[in-house]
Structure 1
Amino acid sequence: MASPLQDDDGIFERLRKQNEDPKVLEERQQAVNERIHTIYQKAQTRLAELIDQNSTLPCTISSVQVLNASHTRKGFLEKVLSPLLSSNKDHPYTLAEALQEVGACTDKLHKFDIFQQPISVYLDKPSQTDPSTTPTDLDVYLSVKERSRFLLKTGTDLGNAEGSAYANALWRNIFGGAETLNLNASLGTRTRSAYQATFETPILSDPDFRFEIGALASDTQKSWASHEEVVKGAWSRLRWMSAAGHRHELGLNGFWRQVTGLAGNASPSVRENAGDSVKTSISHTWTKDQRDNPILPTKGFYAKTLSELAGWGPLKGDVSFWKSEIETQAAVPVPIPGLKGDSGISFTTGFRAGLIYPLGMDSNSKPQLSRINDRFQLGGPTDVRGFRISGLGPREGPDALGGDVYAAGSANLLCPLPRVGADKPFRLQAFVNAGRLLALKTPQGASPTSPQEVRESVASTLSELANGLPSTAAGVGLVYAHPVARFELNFSLPLVLRKGEEGRKGLQLGIGISFL
């Protein structure tokens, strides 16, 4: 017969084993988490009901304070936050309006990229001993945590048919006004070396209105045209976003380019462009992006235009032209009859086109024909799939010379992988894409030598784009949308090729952030 002491020992042993059982511990933790979540949900519901019941009550914001922003200038923050104060408003807030304005203000602070998320917001009543306060006054406190001011990063990059190793140094919030200095150095398979420094600052404490200056030195191997290009230069840019969400960028650019390192079999046209060239230009970029995902869109549209004026009027250099490009993309989800919710199937289309219009320099009205540095290149895994890099357009011997006018389009059907699901970043795709790249030629097939001939050559070259079928390829492939880049492995089959163009039948790997 067991003694009472032995019975107690057995009970304690069973309790100890129960406490050590991973399954029991997991169930207890899950129950605790569910209880906490329920309490949180009830608190949020009560808070929402309380705010809703008092949403029309009048209130005034008497002060706004930012806590823990030790490296950020007070004057910089005042420009951001002063519109919140009721003294700067022509009518009082309701509680709902005040909360909405505070939320918009914290969103604005996030855009400067100097504070960690989230920014905590606290509301309090001012001291009743202050005779200047009123019963409707509220004090707003924003508790922030500043992001690290210094960041040093090294790694490797894959994109746009190139691999590289890089080192990047970032100095954030330099003078306490969200200024940023970014230094970057990289060595790659195609861009042999690149060194870049940029300084950016917001204007008038507006995160959507920024000024940037930068400098660049790079050495790029262009094997498709039997040469290397060395570029050194600087730029200044003004960026802003309109109330409708349109992004603009206005730039002044100055670059010294060298076509050097010619291969032994370089064509006469490439040799003619060898040596130094200086370009000074102004540029404007407009962008509108309403896609749900820029890397793998399933709905929405994207549009971008780029205009550049070089070597005209006060702009100096030895090249003179007007260059314009347009890029669009649209995506629509494809519903499946009988299937509720998102099927994960989408249909996307893309279109790109560009034109270089030669201009005269200074008092010389004779147009300056485009150089190989400035011409468009077309073909490769990130634009017209099924062709080699720069495989479309005018050629001379082994070299792709580029062109002055181009147009390219694509249509893609993307489907989720079986047994993977629509929420995963993997897709099967079927595509067809096409394009043409042409040099400016007069109706007689010669290069233009006068403004009149330039106008005629532009008209005849644009009409030639629609003459016959464009160079076309189709295929199927696998797409993986990583947060920083898109990976495509496609099997492509060229369907239409012109004389001299280089197709790519078989597997083709594309890595980049912008695909046709």
Structure 2
Amino acid sequence: MAEDTLNNSLEDILARPIHISKIFIHGLLRTKEDFAKNVSRKLFDAKTLREYLESAQDVQATFNNLGVTKGVGLKLDVSDDGSEGLFVHVNLVEKKRWAGAVKGFMGNDADAKIGIGGGLNASGLFPNLLGRGEKLSCCWQQALENNRKEIVFQKPTGTDYDSVASTSAYSYSGNVVLSGFKEQHTGVTLDRTINYSDFMHKFSWLGVWRQLLPLSDKTAWSVREQAGHSLKSSLKHEMTFDSRDDVILPSQGIIFRLSQELAGLGGDCHFYSKQLSLQLNQVLPKSRIVGQVGCSVGHVQPLNFTAGSVNKPLSILDKFYLGGPTSLRGFENKGIGPREGENALAADFFWLGYASLLLPPPGVRGGLLDKFRLQLFVNCGNCSNWNTESSWKKRYQDQLSTMRLTYGAGIVTNFLGAKMELNYCFPIKHQRHDKVQSGFQFGISVGD
């Protein structure tokens, strides 16, 4: 009874009408006053104490997410001059002018046997560079088979600063060992990221000078004949919806991603590429068991912009690979698809489907062991060149008849922000030229 009375009193307090007449910003150093006022102006819209608390959380999150502050305090006060309305004091604790770090890293590596690689990363960050949430970052990354240097400038845009405009310049060099070539990229990008409703849209222009070189005299001829320089100028659009409750081991929610790229607006690369992926996660009724199903599909086709001209063959740099502990289990990295000798040649079409059950350790709640999950899975897919000369029915029949299929079980956990898994795989459908890996398979993936 007393608890109900307390709850009713709290609801009455939160529903009490208020009027905010002035906002004072304190702690401005590099931050421009007009920017801070624009971020804080939503506090004026609060008509009740509950709405004020919600708006205050939004203001704190905006300042912190833009990298402007390391802490924001808000104080609601009565006016000291006898005027009507309440005053809000916003106290900002700005971040330092710059930050840097040198650290080791581990992540996806499509050319490593177990799908992971590592190296050294040195990075620098200059937050709130011009006083309105701008950010300048740079990094140098060195791994066993590749290195990358990049500098990125970002500026928040939009009425609520929930969109980002950015530009970057980068240089990348790496050995694609499983395909027998070395690639060098030097490029610039222009990006605009917009959040609309529950979707995030990213529009990009990419200008990249690329060089492909044989890795050794054992490189397959199909790869060697593509050696040389190319210039890619492309427009790209990515649309993402993500309602998952966790990025690494979600228990519920959906992630949907559609990516399209049109190359040929300048340069000598002409193609249209599209990829779609979908993942569904749901806790099974009256249990802690999580069911997960998903699929991915991608296709790239050559284009020509001159009437009567012949399509230029697609570069191996623009095609797809499949296989490995973080894509289609039971096969080595890039172990599915066209091959010549020991070199994976990639393909212009792929699809992947999977289903998993994630079970908590029996009899365990809380503690270290509860961070692990038992995994039962089945996955299937294919990676091949799409035969445009045959009928649609024949294409689908070919895809299903040459489908790869694997089932198995294993252990999975979230290890320092990465998905780590050890599985025992049973590949039951494969092709003669595939690189099959039955038995134990270990991998780490970062991201989706």
The TM-score with structure 2 as length reference comes to 0.91
SS in 1 for 2:431: coil
Q: Which amino acid aligns with 1:171?
A: F
Q: CA deviation at 1:56?
A: 5.0
Give the match for residue 269 of structure 2. 319
Q: Do residues 477 (structure 1) and 423 (structure 2) align?
A: no
CA pair 110-514 structure 1, distance change in 2 beyond 3 A: closer
CA pair 483-360 structure 1, distance change in 2 beyond 3 A: same
Q: Do residues 125 (structure 1) and 73 (structure 2) align?
A: no
SS in 1 for 2:316: coil
Q: Which amino acid aligns with 2:222?
A: S
Mapped partners of 2:176, 2:43: distance in 1: 54
Give the match for residue 343 of structure 2. 399
Deviations 1:476-514 (A, max 9, x none): 211121242111112222111112111112222211124
Q: Do residues 300 (structure 1) and 250 (structure 2) align?
A: no
Q: CA deviation at 1:461?
A: 7.6
Mapped partners of 1:365, 1:421: distance in 2: 65
Deviations 1:314-342 (A, max 9, x none): x1111111100001111111245xxxxxx
Q: Do residues 164 (structure 1) and 119 (structure 2) align?
A: yes
Give the match for residue 219 of structure 2. 266
RMSD: 2.4
Q: CA deviation at 1:162?
A: 1.7
Task: Check whether the contact 1:361–1:368 (CA below 8 A) recurs between aligned residues.
Answer: no
Q: How many residues align?
A: 436
Q: CA deviation at 1:363?
A: 4.7
Give the match for residue 329 of structure 1. 279
Task: Check whether the contact 2:172–2:186 (CA below 8 A) recurs between aligned residues.
Answer: yes
Give the match for residue 68 of structure 1. 27
SS in 2 for 1:206: coil
Mapped partners of 1:399, 1:98: distance in 2: 61
Give the match for residue 43 of structure 2. 84
Give the match for residue 322 of structure 2. 378
Deviations 1:438-482 (A, max 9, x none): 1133436xxxxxxxxxxx7xx478525543151112222111212
Task: Check whether the contact 2:177–2:215 (CA below 8 A) recurs between aligned residues.
Answer: no
CA pair 183-512 structure 1, distance change in 2 beyond 3 A: same
Q: Which amino acid aligns with 1:177?
A: R
Q: Do residues 436 (structure 1) and 391 (structure 2) align?
A: no
Q: Do residues 251 (structure 1) and 195 (structure 2) align?
A: no
How do residues 350-389 of structure 1 correspond to structure 2 at under 5 angstroms? 350-363=294-307, 365-389=309-333
Mapped partners of 1:333, 1:56: distance in 2: 35
Query: Runs of 5+ in structure 2 lacking a partner?
Result: 109-115
CA pair 188-109 structure 1, distance change in 2 beyond 3 A: same
Mapped partners of 1:51, 1:107: distance in 2: 25
Q: Do residues 188 (structure 1) and 143 (structure 2) align?
A: yes
Mapped partners of 2:184, 2:77: distance in 1: 60
SS in 2 for 1:224: helix
Task: Check whether the contact 2:382–2:402 (CA below 8 A) recurs between aligned residues.
Answer: no
Give the match for residue 140 of structure 1. 88
Which of the two has higher C-alpha Rg?
1
Task: Check whether the contact 2:213–2:224 (CA below 8 A) recurs between aligned residues.
Answer: no
Deviations 1:77-98 (A, max 9, x none): 1222234336xxxxx8244434
Task: Check whether the contact 2:281–2:290 (CA below 8 A) recurs between aligned residues.
Answer: yes
- Overall identity of the aligned pairs, in %: 28
Deviations 1:206-260 (A, max 9, x none): 3321011111111111111111111111101000111x22111000001111111
Greater percentage in strand? 2
Deviations 1:347-378 (A, max 9, x none): 11121100112210345542222110100111
Query: Runs of 5+ in structure 1 lacking a partner?
Result: 1-41, 87-91, 337-342, 445-455
